[in-house]
Amino acid sequence: MLTSDTVWAVADGLGGHRAGNVASALAVAALERLSRDPRRGNAQITAAVRDACASIAADTDPGREGMATTVSALVAGADGKLRTVNVGDSRVYRLREGRLRQLTVDHSEVQELLAAGLLDEWQAQHYPRRNVITRVINARLDTVPDIRTVTPRPGDCYLLCTDGLHGFVDDATIAGHLRCPDPRTAATGLIDAALAVGGKDNVTVVVAGIAAA
């Protein structure tokens, strides 16, 4: 997890791979370096993701072979815009005027089937391979993140989270907690909500608000 003045991020090491915690730490470290770059545009974001991949590739410990992580981030650019960044199924949401919107698109098998019209929403919720990720940060140096530019508005609230939250807590509950004016209270409430419904995965959330005018 990363919270700075310019970059906010969560990373979730893949549980079925070795040393996912190490991979996620390397991804966060690369984004922390990005936070100190005054440009923070698309090229710098892509370079940071590939820097994370290079760090993973450079690790020769045999016990860490195959390690990988997802990541989602929100980057404040020098142009006054925000950029969402994701690789994998960690997500960025925005609450604006009381309405919740998912700003990132999962890199997962179930999302690809949804997009192709081969599953409906109910089927997707019960799909047995929901945990299969199609793009991750790993030792591949050609990994490309999805980057989208958004224009912030006063009063916006942004949520970054791993599937330990969105895989267990519905959108209405997420929106209800994000309506809390205090980001810390909102984040704590979301984690508690995931644990209350029996979430067994790691739950990592970052909540960032844009000050009202």
pLDDT tens digits for range 2-58: 999 999 999 999 975 679 999 999 999 999 999 999 999 999 999 999 999 999 999
What pLDDT score does 201 carry? 72
Q: What's the average model confidence in pLDDT over 66-76?
A: 97
Q: Residue 194 has which token pair?
A: 């995931």
What pLDDT score does 163 carry? 93
What pLDDT score does 8 carry? 98
Note the pTM of the prediction, 2 decimals.
0.95
What pLDDT score does 2 carry? 97
What pLDDT score does 31 carry? 98
What pLDDT score does 131 carry? 85
CB 157 within 8 A of CB 207: yes
Instruction: For helices 171-178 and 183-196, give the axis angle rounded to 10 degrees.
Output: 150
Tell me: the pLDDT tens digits for 124-171?
Answer: 888 989 889 999 999 999 999 999 999 999 999 999 999 999 989 999
Q: What's the average model confidence in pLDDT over 118-125?
A: 90
Q: d(Cα 85, Cα 75) in Å, to the nearest integer?
A: 8
What pLDDT score does 200 carry? 67
What pLDDT score does 18 carry? 74
What pLDDT score does 96 carry? 97
SS3 labels along 131-155: CCECCCECCCCCCCCEEEEECCCCC
Q: How confident is the model at residue 210 (pLDDT cuts 50, 70, 90)?
A: confident
Does 198 score more than 90 pLDDT? no
What pLDDT score does 186 carry? 97
CB count, 10 Å around CB of 97? 7
- Starting at the edge strand that comes first in sequence, how are the strands of the sheet with 146-150 ordered? 2-3, 7-13, 69-76, 82-87, 146-150
